[in-house]
Amino acid sequence: MRTQVCIIGAGPSGLLLSQLLHQAGIDTVVLERQTREYVLGRIRAGVLEWGTVELLERAGVGARMHAEGFVHTGTYLSAQNRGFRIDFDGLIGKKVMVYGQTEVTRDLFAARDAMGGVVIHEAAGVQPHGLETDAPFVTYTKDGTEHRIDCDYVVGCDGFHGVSRKSIPSSVLRTFERVYPFGWLGILSETPPAHEELIYANHERGFALCSMRNDHLSRYYIQVPADEKLENWSDNAFWDELRRRIPADVAETLVTGPSIEKSIAPLRSFVAEPMRWGRLFLVGDAAHIVPPTGAKGLNLAMSDVHYLHHALIARLKDNEDDGIERYSETALARVWKATRFSWWMTTMLHRFPDQGVFDQRIQETELAYLESSVAARTALAENYVGLPF
């Protein structure tokens, strides 16, 4: 098989890149090791920067997002069981969209199907070859038969554990990492959201987050130790602990119910450099991971797609090399800014194992400063809604 761009990974970034390139007349093949049902069963982020919203609109997949998503013009922060609002619209005239990553992926699959896009599921043993040559190719096995795809470029959208980043020689690749000593215990429940906007709560017992998927589906998180066992947490224990950490007025009106999904996610900051080697480009979690505190993971993948699809179109349609030559540098500049913001939000809102009463007071004072300072709230709003692509 021959294509112009072989994309490894059928998550939202791989599908979006395929969709945008297809619209420009560039052939792609997407390889995914899991079934479509598995991909669509993953519960992921739900806050979209407006730049991501506009990119999805450009790809022709914005209709259901606008019909079912929630436009948020602010968010709430709390400490000592009381909260205050960061007014995105009033401070910088911008907003975000709450729309689940699973739904974004579902919309993109539908769009690729409608355009006849080639997405090959259950592709095992995917391996790029010849990445430093002018004739790279990718091999994979399906139904016991090995296949080969010849291409001009390979794009790794296959996540942190995928093969793409591992294809870059260790003598070239540099990685930067901070693993946090806690995780997020999250539940999904068929209950109305606790509040019309997200609430990020600092508490001496640990962080908490109140989020939502729609009017009848809520997502909640509490900070737990990194080695915590899921079986230690009944639904009732989770709800009791959540109430202790969030603003008192919200806790009083919180509607609880059985969880329909429960999991613990570890937190880390990770960046790999460079994001391009030869004919290989890294996108999204293949190159960088951020803690979910700043709602940046999916959005960073989408900004990578923004830079890369323009670069590939310029190269394959107009024979211009500047975009692909500068892709890694351009993408990493935004990645590191988002990594800083996510690290800052995480350290401000979470309780660390060695943290004493002094450190807790510093966090509470940081939040009090945000509440009192227009400049500080503006800086937070600029980063939360997303820096320009």
Once rounded to an integer, what is the mean pLDDT over residues 280-295?
96
Helix axes 50-58, 12-23, angle to 10 degrees: 50
pLDDT in tens, 42-53: 777 689 999 999
Domain membership of residue 150 (yes or no) is: yes
Q: Please report which confidence band the pLDDT of residue 215 belongs to, taking 50, 70 and 90 as the band edges.
A: confident
Whether 248 and 376 map to the same domain: the answer is yes
Span 132-140, average pLDDT = 97
185 confidence band (pLDDT: 50, 70, 90): very high
Is residue 78 in some structural domain? no
Positions annotated as catalytic residues are 72, 200, 292, 296, 384
Tens-digit pLDDT profile for residues 82-123: 999 999 999 999 999 999 899 999 999 999 999 999 999 999
Looking at the fold, whether 168 and 185 belong to one and the same domain comes out as: no
Collect all residues with Cβ–Cβ distance below 8 Å to 231 and sequence separation of at least 6: none
What is the pLDDT at residue 214? 84
- The answer to whether residues 112 and 241 belong to one domain is no
Average pLDDT on 210-233 reads 94
- Structural domain of 204: 180-259+352-385
Name the burial class of residue 217, with classes exposed (0-12), middle (13-18) and buried (19+) by CB atoms within 10 angstroms of its CB.
middle
* Residue 82 placed within a domain: no
Q: How far is CA 279 from CA 133, 155, 224, 328, in A?
A: 7, 8, 41, 12
Supply the CATH number for residue 213's domain: 3.30.9.10
- Statement: residue 290 has pLDDT above 80: yes
pLDDT of residue 188: 93
- In b/e form, how buried is each residue of 266-278, taking b as 16+ CB within 10 angstroms? ebebbbbbbbbbb
pLDDT level of residue 323 (50, 70, 90 thresholds): very high
Question: Looking at the structure, do residues 25 and 117 belong to the same domain, yes or no?
Answer: yes
Assess whether 161 and 294 both reside in one domain: yes
Token pair recorded at residue 317: 């349609």
Domains: count for the chain:
2
Is the same domain home to 317 and 330?
A: yes
Q: CATH code at 156? A: 3.50.50.60
Domain shared by 218 and 328, yes or no: no
Among 124-133, 151-160, 208-217, 321-330, the minimum mean pLDDT is found in 208-217
Does one domain contain both 62 and 164? yes
Within this chain, do residues 53 and 150 fall inside the same structural domain, yes or no? yes
Residue 202 lies in a domain: yes
Residue 323 counted as domain residue = yes
User: What's the pLDDT tens digit per position in 329-360?
Assistant: 999 999 999 999 999 999 999 999 999 999 99
pLDDT at 44 (0 to 100) = 72
**Domain shared by 64 and 166, yes or no:** yes
pLDDT average, residue stretch 270-296:
97
Mean pLDDT of 311-320: 97
In a shared domain, residues 202 and 332: no
The continuous run of DSSP H or E covering 63 comes out as helix 63-68
Nearest to 389 by CA among 316, 330, 303: 303
Q: Are residues 65 and 117 in the same domain?
A: yes
Residue 73 has pLDDT above 80, yes or no: yes
DSSP state of 351: P
Look at residue 213 in the predicted model and tell me its pLDDT. 84
Q: What is the pLDDT of residue 292?
A: 94
pTM of the shown model: 0.94
Could you tell me if residue 85 is inside a domain?
no
The distance of Cα 318 from the centroid of its chain, to the nearest Å, equals 31
| Average pLDDT score over the chain | 96
Task: Give dist(CA 143, CA 151) in Å, integer.
Answer: 22
Percent pLDDT > 70 in the chain is 99
CB 216 within 8 A of CB 192: yes
Query: What confidence tens digit (pLDDT) does each residue in 7-54 have?
Result: 999 999 999 999 999 999 999 999 999 999 999 987 776 899 999 999
Inside any domain, residue 333: yes
